[in-house]
Structure 1
Amino acid sequence: MGALLNQKYEKLFSLLDINGDGVIAEDDFELMANRVLAAANEERTAKGQKYADAMMNYWRALRETADVDGDGRIDQEEFRQALGRVSVNFDTLVGPLYQAGFQLADRDDDGLVGKQEFVTVLAAIGVPATEAGATFDGLTEQSGQLSKERFMTASAQYYRNEDPADNASHLLFGAL
């Protein structure tokens, strides 16, 4: 694994460690889901529950892959090593969370997300609003809307791509 992927994985770990205790655990994922749902003004109705369930499925996939000592917590090194394995199965293990997050931001269910909705969700997970806005601008085309397809491609590339020329996906969760 190269330096760029390591940087991205460190960034993602820092966002997932909601309580800042240096490890990620189930409670971090529960806190994250609740924080994002609150920011999106979404109850645990169908759309909100789908997001919360996807967040917990992501946690379970990480725990099964990374929690070598079985203590229910994943430190940064366990996380880094596991993400390489989990990202191979992005479409089934990680992708559903990103799809549910996109659908949460897609308030009118038209398959497109505007800048404010995108920034709201990313800010809720800990990305500074200015960085989330810059990410949105890098991902969108002339329409000023982000398509689900473009978002999912960038999300998968965040986990896999080490080409430094692809800034939009590298900066998905803000500056590295």
Structure 2
Amino acid sequence: MATASSEFWNEKMTRLFHLYDVDKDGSITPVDFEILADKLSVIVGQGDSSKRENYASARKLLCEEIMRADANNDGKVTREEWLDFHRRLATELRNPGSHPELLEQLTRRINTTFSMLDLNRDGNIARDEWVKMCTFFGVDKNEADKSFTSIADGDKLQESKAKTLFYDYIKTDDPNHVSNCCLCFL
């Protein structure tokens, strides 16, 4: 990666880190996932017991997958651990083969993320689902709608396309790549 591109990639991975560091203590811990889950409960329909159970399982799996970046096993992921882990993921995505277990882990994380975004469980991310999640993470509603238009086919983002965008987000250091609109979902 070139220096300018590396700076962009580091910046976007750092922004992603800060989205998960909900309590803003400088590290990601399971507590951050509990806080995030409480805030997200309004969006995902926590009044429905089936949705609540599915979401709780997905949230637990997502927490486990992200906590794999905890290199020293102290129960928290620092920014440096986060960047190192995602650097290895990006390298594996660009040149598969040296760490296939990383791709398996990322695939579980992406599958879980998709299931959490597909609020109505129809196998697609609808425009309203995308906009709800984007605005939850602080993206302007009009920008969220505009980004959805750039990546979706009509009012639906198909599962395969969404997952490809998620993979691309991790590996690309191109500031103009369309996957950069996926910031808040990984």
TM bracket (short chain): 0.7 to 0.9
Deviation at residue 51 of structure 1 after TM alignment: 3.0
Deviation at residue 97 of structure 1 after TM alignment: 2.1
- Equivalent residue number for residue 31 of structure 2: 27
Aligned mates of 1:112, 1:132 — CA distance in 2? 17
Total equivalences in the alignment: 167
Aligned mates of 2:159, 2:111 — CA distance in 1? 12
- Secondary structure in structure 1 of the residue aligned to 2:37: helix
Unaligned segments of structure 1, at least 5 residues: none
Amino acid at match of 1:31: I
Residues 144 and 55 of structure 1, relative CA distance in 2, 3 Å threshold:
same
Aligned mates of 2:137, 2:53 — CA distance in 1? 17
Aligned mates of 2:34, 2:122 — CA distance in 1? 28
Normalised TM-score (structure 2) = 0.75
Aligned mates of 1:83, 1:51 — CA distance in 2? 25
| Structure with bigger gyration radius | 2
- Equivalent residue number for residue 182 of structure 2: 172
CA RMSD after TM alignment:
2.4
- Equivalent residue number for residue 8 of structure 1: 12
1:77 counterpart (71, 80, 97): 80
Aligned mates of 2:155, 2:55 — CA distance in 1? 25
- Equivalent residue number for residue 49 of structure 2: 45
- Secondary structure in structure 1 of the residue aligned to 2:28: strand
Q: Does 1:157 align with 2:184?
A: no
2:62 counterpart (55, 58, 82): 58
Q: Percent identity?
A: 23
Aligned mates of 2:47, 2:160 — CA distance in 1? 25
Amino acid at match of 2:107: D
Amino acid at match of 1:36: L
- Equivalent residue number for residue 151 of structure 2: 139
Q: 1:53-85: CA deviations, max 9, x gaps?
A: 2332232233233241x3312221111111233
Deviation at residue 25 of structure 1 after TM alignment: 0.8
8 Å contact kept, 2:26–2:79: yes
Amino acid at match of 2:78: D
- Secondary structure in structure 1 of the residue aligned to 2:183: coil
Aligned mates of 2:66, 2:14 — CA distance in 1? 15
